[in-house]
Structure 1
Amino acid sequence: MRLLHFDALGRLALADFRGKTIPPYAILSHRWSDSEILIEDISNGTYNEKEEGYRKLQFCAERAAQDELQYFWIDTCCIDKWNLSELSKAINSMFQWYKNAARCYVFLSDVLVSTATEPVQRSDWETSFRASAWFTRGWTLQELIAPESVEFFSREGHPIGDKESLDQLIHDITGIPLAALRNCPLNEFTRLERRRWAENRRTTEEEDIVYCLLGILGVSMPTAYGEGQESAGSRLQAELEAASNAPSIIPFSRNPRFVGRESQLAELEAKLFSNKQTTTMLAIVGPGGTGKSQLALEIAHRTRQNIKGCSVFWIDASDKDSLYQSYASVAQKLGVLGWDSDQADMKQLVKRCVVEISAWQCLLIFDNTEHTTLRSGGWSTTEVADLADCLPQSKLCSVIFTTTYSDTAQALASQNVIALRELTPDAALRMLQVRLTRPLANTEQQEAERLLRELSCLPLAVMQAAACMEASGMTVQEYRSRLDDYKELAIEHSGGSSEDRLQDSGVKYPVAAALFLSINQISRDNALATDYLFLAACLDRKDISLGLLEVASTQVREDAIRILDKYALVTRRPAESALDVHRLVHQALRKRLQVQGQLQEWTQRTITQLLQVFPDSDHSNRSKWRRLLPHAQYALSQSPADDYDEERTCLASKCATALFSEGQYEEAEDLFVEVMQTSKRVLTDEHPSTLGSMANLASTYMHEGRWKEAEELQVQV
Structure 2
Amino acid sequence: MMVIDNADDAQLFSQQGNLGQFVPECAHGSVLVTTRNKVAGSRLTQSGRLIEVGKMDKDESRQMLQGKLEADNPSPDDLSTLSSRLEHLPLALVQAAAFIQEMSMSVREYLRLLEKSDQDLVNLLSQEFETVGRDPEAARAVAETWILSFEQIQQQDTFAGELLSLMSLFDRQAIPRQFLHDYGERQQAQEPSGEMQLAKALGVLKAFSFITEDKDHGFDIHRLVQLVTRKWLGEKGVGQQFAEQALLVVSHNYPNGNHENRAICIAYLPHAYAVLRCEGIGSRDERLARATLLACAAGLFNYQASTYWNQGRWKEAEELLAKELSICSRVLGEEHPDTLISIANLASIYRNQGRWKEAEELGVQVIKTRKKVLGEEHPSTLNSMANLASTYRNQRRWKEAEELEIQVVEMRKRVLGEEHPSTLDNIANLVLTYGNQSRWKEAEKLGVQVIETRKKVLGEEHPSTLTSMGNLASTYGNQGRWKEAEKLEVQVMETRNRVLGKEHPDTLASINNLASTYQNQGRWKEAESLGVQVMETVQRVLGKEHPHTLTSMANLAFTWKSQDRLSDALELMRNCLHLRQRVLGQDHPDTASAFSALTNWLGQKDDGNC
- Bigger proportion of residues as helix: 2
TM-score (norm 2): 0.38
TM-score (norm 1): 0.33
Highest relative contact order (Cα 8 Å, sep 6+), 1 or 2? 1
